[in-house]
Amino acid sequence: MQLSLSVMSPKPDHTSEALLFSQLKGGSERAFTHFFERYYPAVTGFCKQFVYDEEQARSMAQEAFINLWLNRENLQKPEGIPSFLYTAAKSKCLNVLKHEKVVRNYRNVALAEKEQNLNLEVLNALDYDSLSLTELQENVSRFLEQLPEQTQIIYTMKRVAYKKNAEIATELNISIKTVEAHMTRALNHLREALSDYLPAFLIALFLD
């Protein structure tokens, strides 16, 4: 399995990069957008090598960028940004792969052991520090608890288990429109609740 980490857009000049990095640390959404546009395709591609699903890979990459924003003041230099992003992506990929393994074991379905174990070995071999979105996720969980039970269930099935609307509708014996209505309610609630924690650009990214 060949792992690609280096597919990046052309680098800007060092002066421009240093300025944008400084602005990012200071909370500039414009600077953040620059680094997002530069690294997002590569981080998404990295995730896709392990989860094989475009939508899920995009979601995981987006969480990596949210993590970058939340920890921007701890960054030391521009060159640390891709390592930071791949660290966050690695952590998310590992969590998903381990969860899938538990689910398959629970269902007594034979694992595709060679490929799955290889994926875990490759990810574990990436020597990055462990990062998480624990605080933000705790806030999201607290906000979700304020919603009706079925809305919470549908949001979790969609955003945690990565199920499609049609799958959720079938499993809960409801219409797809009902699923969409519950998701709209949950997203509107979270959009308002997260306004104190994230800038508008990142809220849209997180809830996309």
Q: What pLDDT score was predicted for residue 108?
A: 44
Determine, yes or no, domain membership for 8. Answer: no
Q: Is the pLDDT at 127 greater than 50, yes or no? A: no
Q: Which of 14-18, 52-56, 118-122, 183-187 has the lowest mean pLDDT?
A: 118-122
Same domain, 60 and 100: yes
Q: Which of 62, 84, 106 is the last residue of a domain?
A: 106
**Pairwise CA distance, residues 156 & 153, whole Å:** 5
Q: What pLDDT score was predicted for residue 124?
A: 56
Torsion, Cα of 63, 64, 66, 68 (10° steps): 170
- What CATH number should be reported for the domain holding residue 35? 1.10.1740.10
Q: What are 25-67's pLDDT values in tens digits?
A: 999 999 999 999 999 998 998 888 888 788 888 888 998 999 8
Same domain, 199 and 123: yes
Determine, yes or no, domain membership for 154. Answer: yes
Q: Which of 106, 135, 161 is the last residue of a domain?
A: 106
Q: Is the pLDDT at 81 greater than 70, yes or no? A: yes
Domain range spanning residue 100? 16-106
Q: What pLDDT score was predicted for residue 173?
A: 93
The burial class, CB within 10 Å (0-12 / 13-18 / 19+), for 25 is middle
Same domain, 26 and 95: yes
Q: What are 84-116's pLDDT values in tens digits?
A: 898 888 888 887 777 665 445 544 444 455 445
Same domain, 121 and 139: yes
Determine, yes or no, domain membership for 10. Answer: no
Determine, yes or no, domain membership for 84. Answer: yes
Do residues 188 and 207 touch, judged by C-beta distance below 8 A? no
Q: What pLDDT score was predicted for residue 32?
A: 92
Q: Is the pLDDT at 132 greater than 50, yes or no? A: no
| Number of domains, the chain | 2
